[in-house]
C-alpha cells in the first residue's frame, strides 16, 4: 500500500454543503468531507440515495470499496469509518468496518507514528482508567513551545478524525495531547466502555498520568460542553 507523504503541507478543509434534506444525514455527510477525508464529488454522487440508515451503510461501504480499489486510501478510510455510524448495535458489520477503517488508517499514516532519528512525530500512548485504557496521541513541536493543549471529541467521535487538526496545532508551536474517552472510538467499540457525562474523571486520569498542571482544553462537538465541565 502507498503511504501518506508526511512531508507535504498540512491543510484543513472548510465549507458546508447542502447534501441531503434530512438534517442529520446532511450534517454527517459534511463531516465525512471536512473531518474524515472524503471527497465532495464522491459524496454528491450518493447523497441523494440516502433515505435511511440501511441506505447510508450500503452507499458508504460501496464508496469505500471503490476508493480502496483505486488506491485512494484516505477516502476509503473516511467512507469505511463513517459507514458504521448509523449501524445498529448488534450488526456484525459495525465492528468490522470500524476495524477496517482503523487498520487502514494506521497503515496509511504509519510514517507519522514511526520513529525517525529516535523520535516520532506522533507518539501513541495509553492511560489506565478504571477497567480500560484510554488511547492518547502526543505531539511535540519542533521549536519553542507556545503552550500545551488537551483535546478530545464529543459523544460519537473517533480521535483519528482529528489527525490533521492536531498536526496543524503542532506546526503552530503547541504540544498536544489528544485522547479518546468513554463512549468514543475504540474505548467503546473495542473495550466496551460507554459514555459518561462525568468528563472530569477521564480528563483527570490523562492529566495525572502525564503530570500536566497547566493546559488549554479543547472539546469538539459535544466536547464543547464536556471540556468546560472538566475544567470546572
pLDDT at 39: 97
pLDDT at 68: 98
Kindly report the number of other CB atoms within 10 A of residue 29's CB atom. Answer: 26
pLDDT category of residue 78 using cuts at 50, 70 and 90: very high
Residue 177: beta bridge partners?
A: 138, 150
pLDDT per position as a tens digit, 137-157: 999 999 999 999 999 999 889
pLDDT per position as a tens digit, 197-230: 999 999 999 999 999 999 999 999 999 999 999 9
pLDDT at 50: 98
Q: Are strands 132-139 and 123-129 parallel, antiparallel or unpaired?
A: antiparallel
Is residue 185 within 8 A of residue 158, CB to CB? The reply is yes
Domains, the chain, in order of start with CATH, read 23-110 (no CATH), 120-231 (3.40.50.1820)
pLDDT at 118: 81
Buried b (16+ CB within 10 A) or exposed e, 154-174: beebbbbbbbebbbbbbeeeb
**Mean pLDDT of all residues in 87-98:** 95
pLDDT category of residue 74 using cuts at 50, 70 and 90: very high
- The least confident of 27-36, 96-105, 115-124, 165-174 is 115-124
pLDDT at 155: 87
Residue 133: beta bridge partners?
A: 128
pLDDT per position as a tens digit, 38-63: 999 999 999 999 999 999 999 999 99
Q: Where are the beta strands (DSSP E) in the chain?
A: 123-129, 132-139, 147-152, 174-179, 216-219
pLDDT category of residue 29 using cuts at 50, 70 and 90: very high
pLDDT at 226: 96
> Which residue is associated with the grid cell 496521541?
137
pLDDT category of residue 160 using cuts at 50, 70 and 90: very high
Amino acid at each position: 500500500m502507498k503511504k501518506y507523504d508526511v512531508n507535504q503541507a498540512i491543510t484543513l478543509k472548510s465549507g458546508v454543503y447542502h447534501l441531503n434534506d434530512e438534517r442529520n444525514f446532511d450534517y454527517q455527510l459534511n463531516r465525512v468531507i471536512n473531518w474524515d477525508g472524503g471527497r465532495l464529488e464522491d459524496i454528491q454522487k450518493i447523497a441523494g440515495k440516502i433515505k435511511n440508515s440501511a441506505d447510508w451503510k450500503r452507499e458508504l461501504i460501496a464508496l469505500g470499496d471503490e476508493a480502496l480499489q483505486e488506491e485512494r486510501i484516505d477516502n476509503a478510510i473516511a467512507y469505511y469509518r463513517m459507514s458504521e455510524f448509523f449501524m445498529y448495535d448488534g450488526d456484525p458489520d459495525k465492528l468490522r468496518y470500524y476495524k477496517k477503517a482503523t487498520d487502514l488508517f494506521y497503515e496509511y499514516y504509519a510514517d507519522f507514528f514511526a520513529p525517525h532519528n529516535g523520535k516520532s512525530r506522533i507518539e501513541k500512548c495509553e492511560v489506565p482508567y478504571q477497567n480500560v485504557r484510554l488511547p492518547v496521541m502526543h505531539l511535540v513541536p519542533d521549536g519553542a513551545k507556545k503552550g500545551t493543549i488537551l483535546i478530545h471529541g464529543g459523544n460519537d467521535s473517533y480521535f483519528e478524525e482529528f489527525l490533521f487538526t492536531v498536526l496543524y496545532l503542532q506546526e503552530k508551536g503547541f504540544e498536544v495531547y489528544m485522547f479518546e474517552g468513554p463512549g468514543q472510538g475504540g474505548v467503546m467499540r473495542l473495550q466496551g466502555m460507554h459514555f459518561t457525562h462525568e468528563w472530569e474523571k477521564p480528563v483527570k486520569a490523562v492529566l495525572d498520568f502525564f503530570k500536566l498542571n497547566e493546559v488549554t482544553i479543547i472539546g469538539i462537538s459535544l466536547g464543547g460542553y464536556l471540556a468546560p465541565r472538566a475544567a470546572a
